Structure 1
Amino acid sequence: TRRKPGRIMLIDYSDLGRSLTDAGRSLKVTVIGAAKFLHDGGWDSTKRYFLVAANQSHKIAVVDSKEGKLAALIDVDKIPHPG
């Protein structure tokens, strides 16, 4: 799949062994629209939410991995950089 700016791809690896043995099955991929210039990110302490900085957009995208959707797109004053 070609990378597109401003999109996050969630890939469900929970059924990987079965997917590899079943010729007709494939991994579940969820594409989530976010913000351009996604850069770096990391998990919150609960491992449910993934936060990723969109540096030149001055935003932080928060992805809910359990629901498979964008939980928030937070505007920030300065260029965000996690870490």
Structure 2
Amino acid sequence: YWPPQFVIMDGDTLKPRKIVSTRGMTVGTQAYHPEPRVAAIVSSHFNPEFFVNVKETGMVYSVDYRDLSKLKIKMIEAAPFLHDGGFESTHRYVMACGQR
């Protein structure tokens, strides 16, 4: 769970290519959380993107990694205390569970 970030690495060398902090505001209360943990990372079956569940903030990041110099991240409000997640049977929709 530590540090509060996710890292995109080179597949051959495992050298870090991009480091993205997960620090931010929580869904609902908009309180700043300094150490939100990454609960799950789920890769798309169709596009060069993956989804990151950020546990304490309740955010899901949709990360388009086609161009690492211009990384595109969509932040989707979900629910606080996200846990694991994955795709449903058609592999088109991401599902995640949370405590609230």
Query: When the two structures are superposed, what TM-score results if normalisation uses the length of structure 1?
Result: 0.63
Q: Quick one: distance in 1 between partners of 2:77 and 2:19? A: 21
CA drift at 1:38: 1.1
Aligned residue for 1:39, secondary structure, equals strand
The gaps in structure 2 that reach 5 residues or longer are 24-35, 87-100
Counterpart of 1:30 (choices 9, 12, 18) is 18
Q: Which moved more, 1:45-54 or 1:29-38?
A: 29-38
**Aligned residue runs from structure 1 range 23-62, under 5 A:** 27-35=15-23, 36-62=36-62
CA drift at 1:82: 1.1
The gaps in structure 1 that reach 5 residues or longer are 20-25
CA drift at 1:75: 1.0
The equivalent residue for 2:73 is 71
Aligned residue for 1:57, secondary structure, equals coil
Instruction: Please tell me whether the aligned partners of residues 10 and 17 of structure 2 are also in contact (alpha carbons under 8 angstroms).
Output: yes
Instruction: Please tell me whether the aligned partners of residues 12 and 27 of structure 1 are also in contact (alpha carbons under 8 angstroms).
Output: yes
Query: When the two structures are superposed, what TM-score results if normalisation uses the length of structure 2?
Result: 0.54
Relative contact order higher in (CA < 8 Å, ≥ 6 apart)? 1
Runs of 4+ in 1 over 4 A off after TM superposition: none
Look at both structures and tell me which one has the larger radius of gyration over its CA atoms.
1
**CA, structure 1 residues 38+28, in 2 after alignment: closer, same or farther (shift >3 Å)?**
closer
The answer to which structure has the higher strand fraction is 2
CA drift at 1:8: 1.3
Q: Quick one: distance in 2 between partners of 1:79 and 1:27? A: 30
Percentage of pairs with the same residue:
11
The residue type equivalent to 2:55 in the other structure is N
